[in-house]
Homo-oligomer: A and B are copies of this chain.
């Protein structure tokens, strides 16, 4: 197979003509053409290698041969739909069940995280018979009409907030109303949820669900304070609603110590629905909704079939199973603990040298480094973050930003990311921040 059909300029020209311009490119001024990838490395049309720090979808590494093999073998045998009996779907559901608390024991397979969250919304509304949804500020739950409605990150730019949507403060202890010096930020932020529910009730609204990523990503790689989820779940359930944990970015061992990020909140917390996506098929379009028997039964009781044409087909499930196998065989959770831990330490060391680094947070291979203009005001250093990403690209490292002000450098690399990769990135960041600070100093002297 030819690596390249068109010269890069022609690809770009055709793309501008043929593909909707709302679909944006990384590094839009000088986009990268990638023709091949392996593990945590991308290769452009000239064979130049890039270190990939952001492809969380290619969870076990780009183009893992085990997955190609599993996919090809199953594609050669059968790829029908779930209206026929097949072993792959039950095998796969059984394997996923083993990673979850016992009560999350019923599965629906779909094709994308967005489809999963839309189905979760349908399940929540059918089960609770309530309509309203609480979400966290800056949240993103998908590109579908129903999910833009529950994504402040999108609806603020697209037509505004629906009356059935309630936005709770993001429990961000770096920028939020309660910070790291608060004695119990988990309780304090949970109490904001309680107030929000009380207000909604005063308006006669009824809460179906609280949707939250177990570690808010677009919100800025946020780690929930201890106790937050458990208390929020109590308040939401008291209001007759359910807790939907969106694990689309954070599941499948990214946090290292646990298979699911919600498990960081302790064994006494269990969501009512977990949605899965991105890493689940290492790039193959699969996604999943796990829920309780009670919620599934309520959904069945409406008497209407749920049929998803491609969802749960034998090929998708074969790939899903192969991903689980690789995570185990290659101890990728252990790697996330070791490499992620080392990377975080290195970034914390850089923080002692570089005033631009306001905060380093994260767990496993889900890490954020926030740049600030100065540490006292915590004013986001948006331009500096953009500069860092551009300069890292020159060093052949692919990185990107997140957070409400695009000031958080986000690490979500393939899980095979190595100690050497972490050290290389940190060396480059050190150098680039030194240049940046030098320029700042010169500007300060000159002004």
Contact = CB atoms under 8 A, between A and B. Distances in A.
Interface in A294-310: 296-297, 299-300, 302-310
Interface in A203-231: none
Contact of A36 (B78, B107, B144): B78
Nearest to A7: B87
Interface in A1-56: 1, 3-6, 8, 11-12, 14-15, 17-26, 31-37, 42, 55
A20 B107 contact: yes
Nearest to A5: B87
Tell me which of A23, A105, A107, A145 has the highest count of chain B C-beta atoms within 10 A of its own C-beta: A23
A146 B148 CA distance: 11
B23 A306 contact: yes
Interface stretch (A113-121, A331-339, A356-364, A376-384): A113-121
B285 A310 contact: yes
Tell me which of A36, A68, A278 has the highest count of chain B C-beta atoms within 10 A of its own C-beta: A68
A143 B121 CA distance: 12
Nearest to A56: B309
B144 A82 contact: no
A80 interface: yes
B63 A19 contact: no
Chain A interface main SS type: mixed
Contacts of A15: 85, 89-90
Interface in A121-167: 121-122, 143-146, 154, 157-158
A427 interface: no
A283 B79 contact: yes
Contacts of A395: none
A18 B105 CA distance: 6
A296 B23 CA distance: 11
B83 A25 contact: yes
Interface stretch (A69-77, A178-186, A435-443): A69-77
B91 A5 contact: yes
Contact of A63 (B79, B112, B310): B79
A320 interface: no
Contact of A115 (B3, B35, B144, B304): B144
A80 B108 contact: no
Tell me which of A25, A90, A315 has the highest count of chain B C-beta atoms within 10 A of its own C-beta: A90
A316 interface: yes
B143 A308 contact: yes
Interface string A265-294: 000000000000110001111100001000
A283 to B, nearest CB: 4
B143 A145 contact: no
A5 to B, nearest CB: 4
A274 B24 CA distance: 22
Interface of A: 1, 3-6, 8, 11-12, 14-15, 17-26, 31-37, 42, 55, 57-58, 62-63, 65, 67-68, 71-87, 89-91, 93-94, 97, 105-115, 118-119, 121-122, 143-146, 154, 157-158, 277-278, 282-286, 291, 296-297, 299-300, 302-313, 315-316
Given A19-B93, A22-B304, 5 more contacts: A17-B105, A22-B305, A35-B77, A80-B283, A111-B115
18 contacts: A1-B73, A18-B93, A20-B106, A20-B300, A21-B300, A22-B296, A22-B299, A32-B85, A33-B85, A57-B309, A63-B76, A67-B75, A68-B75, A114-B308, A115-B144, A144-B146, A154-B304, A277-B309
